[in-house]
């Protein structure tokens, strides 16, 4: 059984308030269809439908302060309550205490060491690697965990040959923001189909979508709704191409942010876990799932890794 982990940064389950929550306003027919016509709001969870389930996950983890990216992502990737272990939430980039968790025993290393195939589907432009090598930039939590598991980060060559996805999923940002005018562009629905297609080569495929967190910090309702509506079109392509009998697609986050544009800070709201696949597989996956620490064990059980 396969699993696609679609990580969406900085998205919580908020109130049904169109003034501050773009998830209460954006036109997202594909997501709403999965949720039985409901929106991605705190009041919608828990939900079990024909093809999808929704659970609300606690991102606070019993630690004071607002959840942050590095500790939240480290928790998702390890199943360890990293904020509790170090005594605080931390981010955006890992400090040495968080990095220690990311270098040993993450989903990437455990699944890879079990002999199963792992694919990290994000492509990075040349200037990213240049900045990492020069020390001008440091890894965020997810690429740090990938590199520590000796899984290569994908390059522009992989994007151009269709073996990886751009951070915005469509490739438009490589042209408009990076100036790479010959970068391939995928219509959103086709991008979702490409995600499903790439996943077939792996037991665990992972994609990091961080634009949602940037949109939350930007506090621009129009831009946030446009982002969500494009993402929903990608989701539509993914869902129509996904074979439920072959595994699960998981969409979840590390902390709240985008669901409350009334603040530039993160929120203490729960985060969604949307699971797409057969009813039987979803029932097994969601058993006992209530906070970020449950994601990694559920994935390992699903993949049959290390007797979990």
What is the residue-wise DSSP string for 257-296? -TT-TT-SS-B---EEEEEES-HHHHHHHHTT--BGGGHH
How many Cβ atoms sit within 10 Å of the Cβ of residue 161? 11
Q: Are 248 and 302 in contact (CB under 8 A)?
A: yes
Q: What is the overall mean pLDDT for the chain? A: 97
The whole-number pLDDT of residue 104 equals 84
The whole-number pLDDT of residue 307 equals 52
Q: What is the per-residue pLDDT across 234-257, written as a single tens digit (0 to 9) for each?
A: 999 999 999 999 999 999 999 999
The whole-number pLDDT of residue 69 equals 98
Average pLDDT over residues 1-12: 97
Cα 48 to its chain centre, rounded Å, is: 20
Residue 225 has pLDDT above 70, yes or no: yes
Q: What is the per-residue pLDDT across 165-221, written as a single tens digit (0 to 9) for each?
A: 999 999 999 999 999 999 999 999 999 999 999 999 999 999 999 999 999 999 999
Q: What is the per-residue pLDDT across 81-139, written as a single tens digit (0 to 9) for each?
A: 999 999 999 999 999 999 999 998 999 999 999 999 999 999 999 999 999 999 999 99
Domain ranges of the chain: 2-48+65-249+262-270+293-303
Residue 272 has pLDDT above 90, yes or no: yes
Q: What topology is assigned to 2-48+65-249+262-270+293-303 in CATH?
A: Alkaline Phosphatase, subunit A (3.40.720)
What counts of helices (H) and strands (E) characterise the chain? 14, 7
Instruction: Give 306's pLDDT tier (boundaries 50, 70, 90).
Output: confident
Tokens at 14, concatenated? 């908020």
Residue 308 has pLDDT above 60, yes or no: no
| Helix or strand holding residue 220 (H, E) | none
Average pLDDT over residues 143-159: 97
**CA torsion angle 42 43 45 48 (round to 10):** -140
Please spell the DSSP secondary structure of 43-99, one letter per residue.
GG-SEE-SSEEEEEEBSSTT-SS---HHHHHHHHHHSS-HHHHHTS---SS--HHHH
Instruction: Give 266's pLDDT tier (boundaries 50, 70, 90).
Output: very high
∠ CA(92), CA(89), CA(78), 5° rounding? 85
How many Cβ atoms sit within 10 Å of the Cβ of residue 306? 11
Q: Determine the Cα–Cα distance for residues 62 and 59; give it in Å rounded to an integer.
A: 9
Instruction: Give 288's pLDDT tier (boundaries 50, 70, 90).
Output: very high
The whole-number pLDDT of residue 142 equals 98
Q: Which residues pair with 203 in a beta bridge?
A: none
């Amino acid at each position: 059984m396969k699993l696609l982990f679609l990580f969406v940064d900085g998205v919580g389950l908020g109130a049904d308030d169109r003034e501050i929550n773009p998830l209460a306003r954006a036109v997202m027919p594909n997501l709403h269809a999965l949720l039985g016509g409901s929106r991605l709001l705190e009041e919608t969870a828990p939900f079990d439908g024909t093809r999808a389930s929704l659970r609300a996950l606690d991102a606070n983890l019993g630690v004071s302060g607002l959840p942050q990216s590095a500790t939240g992502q480290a928790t998702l990737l390890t199943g360890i309550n990293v904020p509790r272990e170090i005594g605080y939430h931390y981010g955006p980039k890992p400090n040495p205490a968080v990095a220690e968790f990311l270098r040993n025993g993450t989903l990437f290393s455990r699944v890879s060491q079990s002999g199963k195939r792992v694919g990290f589907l994000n492509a990075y432009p040349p200037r990213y690697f240049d900045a990492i090598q020069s020390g001008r930039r440091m890894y965020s939590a997810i690429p740090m965990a990938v590199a520590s598991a000796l899984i290569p980060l994908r390059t522009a060559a992989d994007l151009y040959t269709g073996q990886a996805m751009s951070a915005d999923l469509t490739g438009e940002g490589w042209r408009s923001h990076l100036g790479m005018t010959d970068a391939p562009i995928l219509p959103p629905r086709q991008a979702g189909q490409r995600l499903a297609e790439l996943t077939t080569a792996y037991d665990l495929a992972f994609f990091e979508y961080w634009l949602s967190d940037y949109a939350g910090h930007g506090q621009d309702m129009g831009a946030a709704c446009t982002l969500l509506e494009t993402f929903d079109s990608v989701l539509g392509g993914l869902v129509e191409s996904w074979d439920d009998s072959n595994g699960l697609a998981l969409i979840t986050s590390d902390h709240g942010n985008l669901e409350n544009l009334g603040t530039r800070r993160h929120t203490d709201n729960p985060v969604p876990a949307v699971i797409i696949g057969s009813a039987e597989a979803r029932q097994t996956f969601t058993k006992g799932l209530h906070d970020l620490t449950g994601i990694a064990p559920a994935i390992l059980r699903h993949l049959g890794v290390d007797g979990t």
